[in-house]
Structure 1
Amino acid sequence: MTSNQGVVQDVAAQDVIVPTAEQLHWQRLEVGMFFHFGINTFHAKEWSDGSLPASSFDPTELDADEWVALAVAAGATYVVLTAKHHDGFCLWPTATTDYSVASSPWRDGKGDVVAEVAAACRAAGIGLGLYLSPWDRNHPAYQDPEAYADVYVAQLTELCTRYGPLVELWFDGAGSEGYSYDWARTMEVAHTHQPQAMVFNMGAPTIRWVGNEDGLASDPVEYVVHHTQMSNYTVVSTQFAEALYLPPECDVSVRRGWFWAEDDEPKSLEHLLAIYYRSVGLGANLLLNVPPDRRGRIDAADAAVVTAFGDEVRARFGDPVAAAVTRTGDTTWRADLGDEPVKLDHVLVREDLTAGQRVARHEVRLGGTLVAAGGTVGAGRLHVVDAPATRELEIELEGPDARLAEVLVYRTGHRTAPVVPEDYTAPTDYPED
């Protein structure tokens, strides 16, 4: 399992950074769905080198509505599509290269995967994010950073101006070690055409990678950091001149690989639930990848477990009891659950983040007895508790001017948290493809 240790640095109290309204909105989205789809899908590859023929891209049954419907069923509020992966193959007809859907037999060369996914998202009422790999293993201009900057800026401009509002722009640092991109020009495009979109991890980021591909955060989940890690395959980091508020996104694939492969299988429901508890349950966003197959459809086994995941999350957390929260001291708060005792086995605590992340540690008590404790709270901290029915809880927050926003309790019927299988190991061999 890849560790994310070292990705987050402690930040002194005087460095508390206030998030933007767009960042707070993105954090409330909680769950997104990743769609890795492209030329690799037709060759059982993860990282191809840009030489696979465009003529091999031919998803004869592509159904973007099915993809997005599964995202909704999973509880996702936005999707991120790999518009261009490291191989350089573009899923939209671009003026910057012949290596795109326009050179494929799909839709007689007149198709646009990005447009179809964008339309499906609009119809379903969920957000659209786009992944545009900075690394391009096909385009000849990549060997000249100045010339490639023109190409990359043009590609991003096309994506930012053709498909409506975007929730997120996803810049993957893999393969870019030592390369000098023109991030000033790139960010000018993003800020001009999609100012509300979150920028993932590179350029002028507003959100960051959690530091592993397991989908797992670890306590503490700190939103203010001095650097981000570029990829899963290097210790290289991007250092900032000053600390930035960058909440993390936990990306993980439902399968071992990111692109669909016939001999791959999805993770179990228990594993997906464990990921949810270790991402959303720690105050990070979850981006769950579900790769469409060569038909352009969702594999039945993937659809089944992802649908079950969404159903189970709703069954556990869809009917909370909201507490009336009042401050009782400098660091203490009371969560009043009403006149009648409430049976509960989970507690969700949310921090007031409008003035920045301030909680460094917290405790939950019932009648003076400690029932849960941890480090950061952030957008939401989920605890499994074994406690009797109660009418109130006491919350203690440690941190400068720490404030509680909300307390929700649940009776799920589960008094233990799901766990990642002991024999699970995250893949680390993609660059060898």
Structure 2
Amino acid sequence: MSTIADAVAVRPAPRQIAWQETEFYGFIHFGMNTFTNREWGTGHEPEELFNPTAFDARQWARVANEAGMRGLILTCKHHDGFCLWPSRFSEHTVARSPWRNGHGDVVAEVARACAQYGLKFGIYLSPWDRTEETYGQGKAYNDFYINQLTELLTQYGPIFEVWLDGANGEGPNGKKQHYEWERIYATVRRLQPDACIAVSGPDVRWVGNEAGHVRPNEWSVVPASLRDQDAIAAKSQQEDDEDFARVFSATDDDLGSRTALAQYEGPLVWYPAEVNTSIRPGWFYHPVEDDQVKSAAALFKLYQAAVGGNGTFLLNVPPDPSGQIAAPDRRALQGLGRRVRLLQAENLLADSRVTYSSNPTPVSGTALFTKDLEQVWTPSADDPAPAITVQLPVPTPVNAFVLREQFTAGQRIEDTEIAVQLPDDDRWYTVAQVGSVGYQRIVCVPQQAITAVQVRFKQFRALPLVSYLGATDLCQQD
């Protein structure tokens, strides 16, 4: 049986810490499907169909930067098998297309654009390939896949994430391919040791839906069995179904609470959640969806739920057949970026006075108002009611509180109560009760002017290590 002491002892790897701090990054679905107006290609589509007339990776990176993203992940090869780089191991690539007279390399241009705009670069390489003839033949295909993965990991600079899809279809011989996952992981570790391996990988957990839904309490310390690749594949999209991205189930909403861990006898791992969804109904660009782009307000709500729910936010933005991000998407992303920057910059508690129920370290009163993981408050071991109390200089309208713990030392906080005082009233009113915190928790509350806030730590797996406390009036609510 897994114990609370076991859970507290689990720590993130340095690559997972860097990944979590990336917070928000983009998914670029671009390829043959962009030109066939499909979501899933069938394979063997004529290479001459791929011919963006105004391709501009710098525009993609600029728009991502404006949106507040800190990285981009490119679908270097989707299930149809068409490669956006001139792979030496396939003829089904950009080298046989008219784009750039057969001398183009989308992966190279996107990697350079990311570097120019200060973005991290990640790759998506579909394990399923509907063109490659060795698919379903075991070792022959696994060798082919490793060869292509090696190209991507050695030719395009630092990679922060390798996104491995769970889709696994039938090969031309009617057999499924059994992927050599451990060999894939070893290849990434050897060639890009700082890269996180996501979804069908050991570093980053798919949140379990493509609707942007976040669990009420998202735990980073979870049973190691959640890394089971067959189970991940079973929950992944199995067919070209446009409704898949809008559906989620609440049946597995508790993965890491005391109750969940008490029922598990195996090892625990640090396996944090990535929340992914698309700005449009589909993952690839379709002109009929130009009037179905999510609004800036809707995107910001998804952002604050994911990044403010101990996850990261991976937002798909599909370029159009010209090779550019379309105007409706750009407008929504610019509006999102303005909100994200304001949220990151604002802390309405910054000029307040802080007192602690105990302060053995000690930490200064203003230390928790800056996002510095090294400035941490922890209560004394004999503190019967650990709490942080903040007195604001003037009544201030607030509709959310932001809390972080020093997640590099593990996930500890389990139950927190937030209470406020109102103008001309010295009573405390509880406005929120939250569970897990982890990297960051954004707690939305009804907006009202407050004069003080008290954060009470009711239950924890080890003494809380609080690294940030903030307040904002920017929370997007229903």
Normalising by the smaller structure, the TM-score range is 0.7 to 0.9
1:394 and 2:455 equivalent?
Answer: yes
Q: Aligned residue for 2:420?
A: 366
Q: CA deviation at 1:21?
A: 2.0
Amino acid at match of 2:207: V
Q: TM-score, normalised by structure 2?
A: 0.79
Equivalent of 1:13 in 4, 7, 30: 4
Equivalent of 1:211 in 177, 196, 208: 208
Q: Distance in 2 between matches of 1:316 and 1:190?
A: 35
- How many residues are treated as equivalent by the alignment? 404
Query: Is the 1:324–1:336 Cα contact (8 Å) retained in structure 2?
Result: no
Q: Distance in 1 between matches of 2:116 and 2:189?
A: 26
Structure 1, residues 381-420: CA drift from partner, whole Å, max 9, x if none? Answer: 11123343324433325221132221111233x6xx434x
Q: Aligned residue for 2:472?
A: 410
Higher mean alpha-carbon deviation, 18-27 vs 173-182, is at 173-182
Q: Distance in 2 between matches of 1:370 and 1:152?
A: 55
Structure 1, residues 45-76: CA drift from partner, whole Å, max 9, x if none? Answer: 11111121111000111000000111111110
1:160 and 2:158 equivalent?
Answer: no
Q: Aligned residue for 1:302?
A: 329
1:259 and 2:289 equivalent?
Answer: no
Q: Distance in 2 between matches of 1:359 and 1:51?
A: 52
Q: Distance in 1 between matches of 2:163 and 2:5?
A: 30
Q: Aligned residue for 2:401?
A: 347
Structure 1, residues 228-248: CA drift from partner, whole Å, max 9, x if none? Answer: 53343369x9x9973221111
Q: CA deviation at 1:145?
A: 1.6
Q: CA deviation at 1:186?
A: 1.4
Amino acid at match of 2:209: N
Q: Distance in 2 between matches of 1:362 and 1:213?
A: 29
Q: Are the structure 2 counterparts of residues 399 and 330 from structure 1 closer, same or farther at C-alpha, using a change threshold of 3 Å?
A: same
Secondary structure of 1:140's match?
coil
Which structure's relative contact order is higher, taking Cα pairs within 8 Å and 6+ residues apart?
1
Q: CA deviation at 1:176?
A: 5.5
Q: CA deviation at 1:365?
A: 1.8
Amino acid at match of 2:156: Y
Q: CA deviation at 1:344?
A: 2.4
Q: Aligned residue for 1:180?
A: 178
Q: Distance in 1 between matches of 2:367 and 2:388?
A: 8
Equivalent of 1:250 in 226, 251, 275: 275
Q: Are the structure 2 counterparts of residues 281 and 71 from structure 1 closer, same or farther at C-alpha, using a change threshold of 3 Å?
A: same
Q: Distance in 1 between matches of 2:126 and 2:265?
A: 21
1:233 and 2:237 equivalent?
Answer: yes
Q: CA deviation at 1:98?
A: 0.4
Q: TM-score, normalised by structure 1?
A: 0.87
Q: Distance in 1 between matches of 2:21 and 2:130?
A: 36
Secondary structure of 1:345's match?
strand
Q: Note the residue ranges of structure 1 that are not aligned, 5 or more in a row.
A: 1-9, 420-433
Q: CA deviation at 1:317?
A: 4.1
Q: Distance in 2 between matches of 1:176 and 1:225?
A: 29
Q: CA deviation at 1:266?
A: 0.7
Amino acid at match of 1:411: D
Q: Distance in 2 between matches of 1:348 and 1:316?
A: 10
Amino acid at match of 1:262: P
Q: Distance in 2 between matches of 1:399 and 1:117?
A: 44
Q: Aligned residue for 2:363?
A: none
Q: Distance in 2 between matches of 1:387 and 1:194?
A: 48
Secondary structure of 1:107's match?
helix
Secondary structure of 1:51's match?
coil
Amino acid at match of 1:14: A
Q: CA deviation at 1:189?
A: 1.4
Equivalent of 2:306 in 257, 260, 279: 279
Query: Is the 1:40–1:46 Cα contact (8 Å) retained in structure 2?
Result: yes
Matches within 5 A, 1:303-322: 303-321=330-348, 322=350
Query: Is the 2:84–2:93 Cα contact (8 Å) retained in structure 1?
Result: yes
Query: Is the 2:35–2:50 Cα contact (8 Å) retained in structure 1?
Result: yes
Q: Distance in 2 between matches of 1:23 and 1:338?
A: 36
Query: Is the 2:166–2:237 Cα contact (8 Å) retained in structure 1?
Result: no
Query: Is the 1:270–1:418 Cα contact (8 Å) retained in structure 2?
Result: no
Q: Distance in 1 between matches of 2:96 and 2:265?
A: 41
Higher mean alpha-carbon deviation, 139-148 vs 338-347, is at 338-347
Amino acid at match of 1:279: A
Equivalent of 2:99 in 103, 106, 109: 106
Q: Aligned residue for 1:333?
A: 387
